[in-house]
Amino acid sequence: MSGGPLSFPARFFCSPLVQSSVSNFRPDGNRKVVKSDLVIGTDGAHSAVRKLLMRQVRMDYSQQYIGHGYKELTIRPTSEREFRMDHGSLHIWPRQTFMMIALPNKDKTFTCTLFMPFEKFEEIKTQDEVLAFFEREFPDAIPIIGQENLINDYLKNPVGPLMTVKVKTCLFVCFVVVFLNIPPPFFQCKPYHYQDFCVILGDAAHAMVPFYGQGMNCGFQDVLVLDKVSPPFFSSWGVVSCLTI
């Protein structure tokens, strides 16, 4: 997609949409107001752009949190700056109503994500409780993460909430629903736009928990559709503001 200049504010505030402006808060604290011909909201499940849309259009909006949250831990690289595990594999530790996964990063670390019921997270609050839990449930992960790093990451990092869209029933979704005992809740809204000035894409319009494995695909599909319908308007777009997380 080509056209006018693109703006990606690091921190932003949208004035009422009828004013067609975006305030960009720069790292130095200064504020710059940008008049935009198009605002694209890709700022995630807790979208500020969507909240603004809800004040302007009769948006059908619904969301439901699931009973599981997530906490991120980090597997650091070795002293030789290499991966500690096979980076070409998907690492999963399934445990009845909770599980942990590890995904590789370009800097040779792994991001470990522990998905677990909120009630379980609330039971683990001290260093001894963290260590006892991992010794019982994930003993092989302790030397990989490192005991000190594990305790520090667990106690420092917050527990994030999860919400999702209503999805078609497929074999993988059935597995997740049965295995983790998670009902298929939903988060959806329509319309996704305000006149010809503002549109929301991706999780801002239809968030999905990661278990279903389709959130990124849905976001890419949004971009393909936008790219397909946009060419007639390229010449009339002067400034396009893309608001991200």
Report pLDDT for 199.
85
DSSP 97: T
Question: Tokens 């009422």 belong to which residue?
Answer: 16
Residues with pLDDT less than 50, the chain: 1, 4, 10-13, 15-16, 165-180, 182-187
17 phi, psi to nearest 5 deg:
-60, -25
Whole-model pTM? 0.71
**What is the three-state SS of 15-48?**
CCHHHCEEEEECCCCCEEEEECCEEEEECCCCCH
Q: Quote the CA–CA distance of 40 and 240 in Å, as a whole number.
A: 8
Burial of 161 (0-12, 13-18, 19+ CB in 10 A): middle
* 137-157 per-residue burial string, b: 16 or more CB within 10 A, e: under 16: bbeebeebbbeeebbebbeee
Q: How far apart are CA 134 and CA 130, in angstroms?
A: 6
Q: What confidence score (pLDDT) does residue 133 get?
A: 98
At residue 194, φ and ψ (nearest 5 deg) are -125, 110
Q: Which of 119, 115, 117, 150 is nearest to 132 (CA)?
A: 150
